[in-house]
Amino acid sequence: MPATTVLDVQGLHRRFGSTEAVAGVDLRVAAGETVALLGPNGAGKSTTLAVILGLLSPTAGQVTVGGRTPHQAVADGLVGAMLQSGAGSGLPSRTRVGELVRFVASLYPAPLSPPAVLRHAGLACLAERKLDRLSGGELQRVRFALAICADPRLLILDEPTVGLDVPAQRSFWETVRAFAAGGCAVLFATHYLAEAAETAGRVVVLHHGYVVADGTVDEIRRTVTLRRVRFRAPDTDARVLRALPAVQQFRQADGVISLDSTDSDATVRGLVRSGTTFRDLEVTGAGLEDAFLALTCEEPA
């Protein structure tokens, strides 16, 4: 394994009873890289992250964090995490921000200093505040503060902006980007394409427990934003149409030709150049997987 790989997931499977939540995920994250794990609910994002953190054991496959097992990586403070906690805060009662950060930092072998943690998390002026007096956005910063106490090499964030309003989301991601600039790799789960696009250099798309795409946002947009080119044509040569630029799939029914294309402009130009006679041309969004449509259309609330 190259020295720069901070997370290496190989052939990961995780089964719950008869359902396979993760069905063969390979994923590598390099030191300092920010990667979004994008997928709809139920795609296997949270399960993958829980295995990476050692909270769940894999049914098959291997996970190493900084070359160690997930448990060892947690014990050595290589990894920090912010998980979803449903309705609960994920935080203890009757404590203050600074006190909680000092306690959690004291558990790690080589922690960031508590004042530095508070500064990075934007909590410096709230150190003496009681936790039950904080807003939702401030509580999220506290959870972030606890995740970076270890001075981790890998930060795991599971849908960290769920339930935050837009300004709180923006300022939260600014905080994450500023911290990641110090060299910490970040792997975060989200079901918003926009969020992935703004923050991550690389996006891994998970669907039904599989990695269906892995690349920059633009690369992924190109591969998944299929368009459907439809027209009527009395005499056609299927071989010519199949050979048109960017065509992925060809269908013909009742004189209507339907072409799925990754670049509909190029396909139409090619169609005109091929000299095929056609009428009633229309270009529509292709029948993409519902899941991915949901991803691309949905903006953060």
Partner 1 sequence: MKTHRPRLASFLAFELRRMLRSPGILVWTLAFPVADYLLNFDNKTNNPGAQRWAGTTWAVYFMVSMCAWAAIAAASSAGGARLASELANGWTRNLRLTPLPSWAYAAGKILTGVALALMAALALSLIAGAVARPQLPASAWAAMILACWLGSLPFAALGILIGLAAGTSVAQPAMVAVVLVLNVLGGLLWPLPVFPNWLQDIAKVLPTYRLADLGRAAVTRHALNPADMAFLVAWTLLFAAAAAWRYRASQVEQA
Instruction: Closer to partner 1 by CB, 143 or 227: give it.
Output: 143
Strands 227-232, 185-190: parallel, antiparallel or unpaired by DSSP?
A: unpaired
Question: How many residues can be counted in the chain?
Answer: 301
- Show contacts with partner 1 in window 239-268 (CB under 8 A): none
Confirm or reject binding of residue 29 to partner 1 (CB under 8 A). no
Give the C-alpha distances (Å, rounded to integers) separating 231 from 183, 235, 239, 282, 284.
52, 12, 16, 6, 11
Q: Which stretch binds partner 1 (CB under 8 A): 31-39, 93-101, 252-260, 289-297?
A: 93-101
Cα angle 90, 81, 33 (rounded to 5 degrees) comes to 150
Binding-site member from 24, 42, 90, 245 for partner 1 (CB under 8 A) = 90
Site mask, partner 1, residues 131-160, x = CB under 8 A?
------------x--x--xx----------
Residue whose CB is less far from partner 1, 79 or 123: 79
Name which position in 108, 173, 210, 250 contacts partner 1 (CB under 8 A): 108
Q: Is 83 in the site for partner 1 (CB under 8 A)?
A: yes
Residue 125's Cβ-count burial label (10 Å; 0-12, 13-18, 19+) is exposed
Nearer to partner 1 by C-beta: 90 or 215? Answer: 90
Q: How many helices (H) and strands (E) does the chain have?
A: 11, 13
- 3-class secondary-structure state, position 42: coil
Q: Figure out which of the listed residues 22, 104, 203, 205 binds partner 1, where binding follows CB under 8 A.
A: 104
**Out of 1, 18, 94, 290, the residue judged to bind partner 1 by CB under 8 A:** 94
Continuous segment of H or E residues that includes residue 5: strand 5-16
Residue range at the interface with partner 1 (CB under 8 A); choices 87-95, 205-213, 248-256, 284-292 = 87-95
Torsion sign (Cα): 11, 17, 20, 22 = negative
